[in-house]
C-alpha cells in the first residue's frame, strides 16, 4: 500500500531500555510515527524488576545525582518523578566493621569548597590523607575527560603517582569510582574517572546530591515509559526480536524481525554493545569489532531479608569490608515485616560465578560486622542476582572505541550508554544517548520544529 505523501516519517527504535524509550519518546514528540521493538516482554532494559519468592526485586540497584539532568527530564516525561526522592544535600553514611561510622556531607559553600569539611572530618582517612585527597581532587578537576592521553591512563595509576595511599584509594576514591565506573580504580579509565568526579562532585556544589527510587524500578521506568509511549502514539511491540537492520543505497529502510519486516525511514539501534554489531548492515560502521573490544563488566546483587530491622540507614557505603554499597529496599519491595537489604557489588568478577552458599558464607558475617543488630536477626531469605554484562568495561583506551550516534548508513543511528556520550555507563548516559540519536534522526527526516534539547556528546 502506498503511503500518503503527507504521512509522518516512520522511525523504528530497536531496544526498550532507557536509551530506546528516550529515543522513541523524543521521536514521537517530534512528529514521527514510531515503532519500538523490544525482545523482552517488558521495557526498562537493565533497570527492570521481577518477582522472586514473593519479593519484588530490581535487576540492579540504581541511584542518580542531581547533575543527571537528562535522566530527571525523562522521569518528568513519563510521570514518575514522584517515585524518587532527592537529598537536600549530599550525605553519604559510610560504615566499617566494628560498628564504626563516618559520613561524607557537603556544606553550603560554593564548589569546590563545599567538600572541604567532608574531607577534613572523614575518619576513614588519616589527617594527612585527607589534606592530600583535597589537592588530588583539585588536580583531577583540571583534567580534560576528552583528552585521549588522559583516557589512555588508568585512574589507579594516576592516583598512585600523585601519592594517594592504598587506603585512600580504597576508602575514598573507589567509594565513588567503583559503583559509577563498575571497575576498580586500577582498571578504570582516568578520563571517565575525571568526568565522574568533575561533573558529579567538583564543578557544582549540589551536583552529587543523591536521588533514590522509592518504588521498584519497573514502576519508575518501564511501566510508566510504556504508558507514555502509548499515549504519544507509539507502537510498542514487546517480545519482538530484531534480526537485522535493512538498508539500501539511500539509507536505512527497516528492521527484519521474527515476525516479518517493519518498514522505516530511520532506525535507532539502542541495544547493548555486545548485541549491536550483528544487527548492523555491512559497512554501517568502520570498525564493528570495536563494539566487542569494549568488553563488559559484571554486577552482582545480594538480596537479604531479615526478620527484623538491623539498620535505620536508607543506604550506605562500606569500607574495609567485602560489602560495597547497600540499600534498604523494604518498602519498595512491598515487604511489611522485617527488613530487606540489597547489597550491590560493582566490578564483581570475583563474585560473578561464586555459588550462592559461598556468597552467603562471605556476606552475612560481613553484614553482621557492619550492623551488630544483624547478629540477633534471623535471615529469612538470601537471594542472588547477577548481571554478567552489566556495563561495558570502562577501561583505559575506551574513548576511541565508543562510537558516536551516526553511522555510515544514512538515517541509521546508535544509542546506548556505551556510545560516546561523554558520560560513563549510567542511566544519565543512556538517556543522553537516546536524545542525541533522536535529534539526529528527526533532523535527517526534516522534522526540526520540535527537536529534543541538544545535549553534549
- pLDDT at position 3 is 64
Give the integer Cα–Cα distance in Å for 294 and 428.
19
Please give the grid coordinates belonging to residue 168.
Answer: 585512600
Region 156-168 average pLDDT? 98
Give me the helix-helix angle, 174-181 and 190-197, nearest 10°. 110
Residue 274, classified by CB atoms within 10 Å of its CB into exposed (0-12), middle (13-18) or buried (19+), is middle
Q: Which of 213, 215, 225, 216 minimizes the C-alpha distance to 42?
A: 225
Among 184, 208, 232, residue at a domain's last position: 208
- pLDDT at position 53 is 81
Is 371:98 a contact under the CB 8 Å cutoff?
no
Mean pLDDT for the chain? 96
Give the integer Cα–Cα distance in Å for 199 and 184.
19
Query: Which of 111-115, 363-367, 421-425 is predicted with the least confidence, judged by mean pLDDT?
Result: 111-115
Q: What is the DSSP letter of 453?
A: P
Please give the grid coordinates belonging to residue 335.
Answer: 515487604
387 and 333, same domain (yes or no): yes
CA angle 362, 345, 136 (to 5 degrees): 115
Give the integer Cα–Cα distance in Å for 201 and 49.
30
- Split into its structural domains, the chain has a count of 3
Give the integer Cα–Cα distance in Å for 226 and 21.
8
307 and 377, same domain (yes or no): yes
- pLDDT at position 457 is 61
318 and 373, same domain (yes or no): yes
243 and 362, same domain (yes or no): no
User: Is residue 240 situated within a structural domain?
Assistant: yes
370 and 318, same domain (yes or no): yes
User: Is residue 453 situated within a structural domain?
Assistant: no
pLDDT, tens digit, for every residue of 122-132? 999 999 999 99
141 and 170, same domain (yes or no): yes
Whether the predicted pLDDT of 177 surpasses 80: yes
User: Is residue 55 situated within a structural domain?
Assistant: yes
Q: Which of 55, 89, 358 minimizes the C-alpha distance to 204?
A: 89
Is 23:37 a contact under the CB 8 Å cutoff?
no
Q: What is the DSSP letter of 9?
A: P
pLDDT, tens digit, for every residue of 348-401? 999 999 999 999 999 999 999 999 999 999 999 999 999 999 999 999 999 999
User: Is residue 353 situated within a structural domain?
Assistant: yes
Among 163, 191, 208, residue at a domain's last position: 208
User: Is residue 323 situated within a structural domain?
Assistant: yes
Give the integer Cα–Cα distance in Å for 347 and 303.
18
Grouping H, G, I as helix, E, B as strand and the rest as coil, residue 183 is: coil
Give the integer Cα–Cα distance in Å for 69 and 205.
15
pLDDT, tens digit, for every residue of 202-249? 999 999 999 999 999 999 999 999 999 999 999 999 999 999 999 999
Q: Which of 300, 303, 443, 323 minimizes the C-alpha distance to 371?
A: 323
Is 145:422 a contact under the CB 8 Å cutoff?
yes
Among 180, 208, 236, residue at a domain's last position: 208
Q: What is the DSSP letter of 272?
A: -
End-to-end CA distance of the chain: 39
30 and 41, same domain (yes or no): yes
Whether the predicted pLDDT of 2 surpasses 60: no
406 and 283, same domain (yes or no): yes
55 and 38, same domain (yes or no): no
Give the integer Cα–Cα distance in Å for 171 and 178.
11
Find how far residue 288's CA is from the centre of its chain: 23
pLDDT category of residue 5 using cuts at 50, 70 and 90:
low
User: Is residue 100 situated within a structural domain?
Assistant: no
184 and 203, same domain (yes or no): yes
Please report, for the domain that includes residue 437, its CATH number: 3.50.50.60
pLDDT, tens digit, for every residue of 187-205? 999 999 999 999 999 999 9
Please give the grid coordinates belonging to residue 300.
Answer: 552482582
Q: Which of 83, 74, 84 minimizes the C-alpha distance to 225?
A: 74
Range of the domain at 429: 10-47+217-294+402-444
User: Is residue 81 situated within a structural domain?
Assistant: yes
Give the integer Cα–Cα distance in Å for 390 and 395.
14
196 and 112, same domain (yes or no): yes
User: Is residue 93 situated within a structural domain?
Assistant: no
Q: What are phi and psi of 196, to 5 degrees?
A: -60, -50
Q: Which of 427, 457, 440 minimizes the C-alpha distance to 70?
A: 427
CB-side exposure of 450: number of CA atoms within 13 Å? 8
Please report, for the domain that includes residue 381, its CATH number: 3.90.660.10
170 and 142, same domain (yes or no): yes
Give the integer Cα–Cα distance in Å for 447 and 443.
6
Whether the predicted pLDDT of 93 surpasses 60: yes
Q: Pairing relation of β-strands 315-318 and 91-96?
A: parallel
* H/E element, 414: strand 412-414
Amino acid at each position: 500500500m502506498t503511503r500518503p505523501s503527507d504521512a509522518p516519517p516512520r522511525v523504528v527504535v530497536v531496544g526498550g531500555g532507557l536509551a530506546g524509550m528516550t529515543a522513541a519518546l523524543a521521536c514521537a514528540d517530534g512528529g514521527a510515527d514510531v515503532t519500538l521493538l523490544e525482545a523482552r516482554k517488558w521495557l526498562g532494559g537493565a533497570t527492570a524488576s521481577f518477582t522472586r519468592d514473593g519479593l519484588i526485586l530490581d535487576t540492579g540497584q540504581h541511584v542518580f545525582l542531581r547533575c543527571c539532568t537528562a535522566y530527571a527530564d525523562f522521569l518528568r516525561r513519563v510521570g514518575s518523578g514522584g517515585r524518587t526522592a532527592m537529598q537536600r544535600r549530599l550525605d553519604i553514611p559510610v560504615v566499617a566493621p566494628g560498628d564504626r561510622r563516618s559520613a561524607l556531607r557537603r556544606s553550603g559553600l560554593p564548589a569546590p569548597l563545599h567538600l572541604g569539611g567532608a574531607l577534613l572530618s572523614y575518619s576513614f582517612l588519616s589527617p594527612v590523607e585527607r589534606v592530600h585527597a583535597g589537592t588530588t581532587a583539585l588536580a583531577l578537576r583540571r583534567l580534560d575527560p576528552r583528552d585521549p592521553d588522559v583516557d589512555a591512563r588508568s585512574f589507579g595509576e594516576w592516583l598512585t603517582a600523585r601519592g594517594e595511599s592504598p587506603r585512600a584509594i580504597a576508602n575514598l576514591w573507589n567509594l565513588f569510582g567503583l559503583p559509577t565506573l563498575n571497575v576498580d580504580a586500577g582498571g578504570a579509565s582516568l578520563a571517565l574517572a575525571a568526568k565522574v568526579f568533575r561533573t558529579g562532585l567538583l564543578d557544582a556544589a549540589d551536583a552529587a546530591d543523591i536521588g533514590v527510587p522509592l518504588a521498584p524500578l519497573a514502576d519508575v521506568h518501564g511501566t510508566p515509559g510504556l504508558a507514555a509511549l502509548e499515549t504519544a502514539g507509539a507502537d510498542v511491540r514487546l517480545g519482538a526480536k530484531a534480526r537485522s537492520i535493512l538498508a539500501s543505497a539511500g539509507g536505512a529502510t527497516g528492521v527484519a524481525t521474527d515476525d516479518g519486516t517493519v518498514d522505516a525511514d530511520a532506525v535507532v539501534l539502542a541495544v547493548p554493545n555486545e548485541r549491536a554489531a550483528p544487527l548492523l548492515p555491512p559497512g554501517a560502521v568502520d570498525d564493528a569489532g570495536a563494539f566487542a573490544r569494549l568488553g563488559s563488566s559484571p554486577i552482582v546483587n545480594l538480596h537479604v531479608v531479615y526478620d527484623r530491622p538491623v539498620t535505620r540507614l536508607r543506604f550506605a557505603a562500606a569500607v574495609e569490608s567485602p560489602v560495597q554499597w547497600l540499600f534498604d529496599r523494604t518498602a519498595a519491595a512491598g515487604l511489611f515485616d522485617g527488613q530487606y537489604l540489597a547489597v550491590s557489588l560493582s566490578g564483581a568478577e570475583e563474585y560473578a560465578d561464586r555459588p550462592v552458599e559461598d556468597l552467603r558464607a562471605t556476606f552475612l558475617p560481613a553484614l553482621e560486622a557492619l550492623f551488630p543488630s544483624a547478629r540477633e536477626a534471623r535471615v529469612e531469605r538470601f537471594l542472588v542476582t547477577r548481571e554478567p554484562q552489566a556495563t561495558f568495561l570502562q577501561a583505559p583506551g575506551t574513548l576511541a572505541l565508543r562510537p558516536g550516534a551516526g553511522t555510515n548508513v544514512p538515517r541509521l543511528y546508535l544509542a546506548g550508554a556505551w556510545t560516546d556520550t561523554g558520560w560513563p555507563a549510567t542511566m544519565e548516559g543512556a538517556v543522553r544517548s537516546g536524545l542525541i540519536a533522536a535529534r539526529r534522526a528527526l533532523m535527517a527526516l526534516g522534522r526540526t520544529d520540535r527537536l529534543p534539547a541538544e545535549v553534549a556528546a
